[in-house]
Amino acid sequence: MATTTVIIVDERPPPPQDLLDAMESVDATVTRRTITQLREGPVTGLPSADVLMASARCEPAVVRDVVLRLQGRHGAPVVVVYAVRDFEGLEGHVRFGHDYLVPPFLPALVRARLHGCSERAELGRRVREVEAHDEYIRNERELEIGREIQAGFLPEQLPVPAGWEIDVLFRPALQVSGDFYDVFELAHRRRLALVVADVCDKGVGSALFMALIRSLLRHTAENSGLQHLVATPHAPDAERSGPPVVGATPLLNAVTATNRYLTRNHLRQGYFATMFFSVLDPATGRLVYINGGHNPPLLLDADGGEPTPLEVTGPAVGVLPDTAYALGYAQLNPGDTLFVYTDGVPEARCPDGRFLGDDRMLELVSGPASRGRDVLARVDSAVREFTGDGEQHDDVTMLTLHRPSSVRRAPVTTAVA
Amino acid sequence: MPLSVSLSVDGDISVIELIGELDAHTAPEFHESIEKAAAHGTAIVEIRMHEVAYMASAGLRSLVFAQQKVVDGVTIRVVGASEPVSRTIRTAGLDRSIVLADE
């Protein structure tokens, strides 16, 4: 049998010597503490014990307070009070559920009492372990529910226009994630919206904001009426501004309205998202986009030229009130691939702490553009290999938009005003 | 990798010195020092990042959080950020509201 650990309350008059002797003879480990030390001393200094032993003269409520403190630290000990003469003091303690010892303090009697107490203490510890485990399981289940609900905020199926290929790889680091992607049709299916976004930080907070931001973006974009579908691009940089483009208005509305909503209502919480939101004209391959503080997506050219980064056109969404977002333009010709990703890719870490890095990622996607799914597979296997057995630190999201070259290039139509 | 955070007040500047990595695990500690710095009410909150090798998006969130904690008119200055860290700040557009300085 393991030795019983005992805290004995050391007040005046001191604990009777024959009781102390009896405990010593049965090999109990005894720690002496005053009531003040136990009630007011630092929590970190509280010893752990199976039994708290005190004189019946101690107030039962005071002893209970000590038990509660010890419980918070190590688990509750079983209380044993002793009386040498004033046996009526025992009554109040018994009402509190405390055990007791009375003279003579013979070693065999003390041993039997301590043994019973340490078994009760052990049982209590087991019960707490089971409860803690139960709570863990419950939390896991709640997180799993969170994950399932969040999955409902990702598109079930991607609407892929004829003559195009869209592939996505989405691997959250935790059960719930701050990354998301979305693909949906606009302007009576004449345009396709593609979004990849990363809500800052991670965990449940990011996941809640993911649900909000995704909904705001999509709802606003889908409800920007057709009469407003043509925007006059707002671009400080004249090079960038192009002709009015169908789909640019839902894009601008979605991003500015989401930014306004977040900065008006949630600035204090400090959550924001970096995002790449683009609208494709599937007939022409023309792309209009807003890059709100996101890692620049790479346009991979069919001939293997240097990838073109689609640089930021405004700050992250949800940071600065009243921000104007500029539009960016790109053209996907047959054979081209657009590679959009979140920072989980270049910031993938190997177990010794090094990062995959932008240069390595650029190397992986460079060369003649292949189909999007090949690009994803290449980057993904490099990320996995690099991470090795290490923990995945951040969500990884990648989306490719590929225009196969075998498809005849559709005739360029003029944007309908 | 852990983060060490120290806070000192020098005249009208609260100086938060960060050493290590600023990510989701370590950001809460940085938040605490931001709250304390904001409570000092100095005109400038300077965040020294010479020794910050890596800043994740949680660190960006800390900077946004810092802006919310200080009263209007208080300057938040990030000093000595390495190239990758300052690029992270600039890409997200936080350099529009936070001063990035070399020294």
* CATH assignment, A152-402: 3.60.40.10
Q: Is the pLDDT of residue B78 over 60?
A: yes
Residue B64: list chain A partners with CB under 8 A.
200, 267, 270, 272, 319
**Number of neighbouring beta carbons within 10 Å of residue A397:** 25
Contact B96 A268 (CB under 8 A): no
- pLDDT for residue A55: 94
A316:B68 CB<8 A: no
Measure B56 CA to nearest chain A CA, in Å.
8
Distance from CA of B24 to the nearest CA of A (A): 6
Amino acid identity, position A80: V
- A319/B23 CB distance under 8 A: no
Q: Which of B27, B68, B94 sits opposite A268 (nearest CB)?
A: B68
Closest by CA position to A297, among listed A326, A337, A258, A334 = A337
pLDDT tens-digit readout, A369-402: 678 999 999 999 999 999 887 777 788 999 999 9
Cα A336 from chain centroid (whole Å): 35
Interface test with B, best of A180, A198, A201 (most B CBs within 10 A): A201
CB spacing of B91 vs A293 below 8 angstroms = yes
How many CA atoms are closer than 13 Å to the CA of A153, on its beta-carbon side?
27
For residue A57, the model assigns a pLDDT of: 92
Is B74 within 8 Å of B84 (Cβ atoms)?
Answer: no
The 8-class DSSP code of residue B41 comes to T
Task: Please report residues of A whose CB lies closer than 8 A to that of B27.
Answer: 201
Query: Most B CBs within 10 Å: which of A319, A341, A345, A355, as the mutation test of the B interface?
Result: A319
Q: What is the pLDDT of residue A226?
A: 52
Residues of B within 8 A of A315 (CB-CB) are 92-94, 96
Instruction: Give the CB-side neighbour count of residue A366, counting CA atoms within 13 A.
Output: 11
Give the chain B residue whose CA is nearest to the CA of A316. B92
CB contact under 8 A, A320 and B56: no
Amino acid at A41: G
* CA A314 vs CA A103, A296, A325: distances in Å: 83, 12, 5
For B18, other C-beta atoms within 10 Å of its C-beta total: 26
Q: Tell the burial category of A9 from Cβ atoms under 10 Å away from its Cβ (0-12, 13-18, 19+).
A: buried
ipTM for the assembly:
0.88
The residue to which tokens 């000990």 are assigned:
A77
Q: What three-state secondary structure class fits A24?
A: helix
Overall residue count recorded for chain A in this entry: 417
pLDDT at residue B82 above 50?
A: yes
Question: Domains (ranges, CATH) in chain B?
Answer: 3-101 (3.30.750.24)
For domain A5-131, is the CATH number 3.40.50.2300? yes
Contacts of B97 in chain A (CB under 8 A): 319-320
Interface of B to A at Cβ within 8 Å reads 1, 23-24, 27, 54, 56-58, 60-62, 64-65, 68, 91-94, 96-97
Taking only the tens of pLDDT, chain A with its 417 residues reads: 468 899 999 988 889 999 999 999 888 899 999 999 999 888 888 888 999 999 999 999 999 999 999 887 777 899 999 999 888 889 999 999 899 999 999 999 999 999 998 888 888 888 888 988 998 898 888 888 888 888 889 999 999 999 999 999 999 888 788 899 999 999 888 999 999 999 998 888 999 999 999 999 999 999 886 544 455 555 444 444 455 577 888 999 999 999 999 999 998 888 999 999 999 999 999 999 999 999 999 999 888 888 999 999 999 999 999 898 999 999 999 999 999 999 999 999 888 888 998 899 998 888 766 789 999 999 999 999 998 877 777 889 999 999 998 744 444 555 544
- B chain contacts of residue A314, beta-carbon cutoff 8 Å: 93
- Phi first, then psi, for residue A176 (nearest 5°) are -110, 155
pLDDT at A243: 54
pLDDT of residue A72: 79
Judged by CB atoms closer than 8 Å, whether chains meet at B23 and A393 is answered as: yes
Domain range list for chain A: 5-131, 152-402
Residue B74: half-sphere exposure toward Cβ, Cα within 13 Å: 22
Closest Cβ–Cβ partner in B60, B68, B97 for A200: B60
Query: Which uninterrupted H or E stretch holds A146?
Result: helix A107-151
- Contact at CB, B93 and A316, closer than 8 angstroms: yes
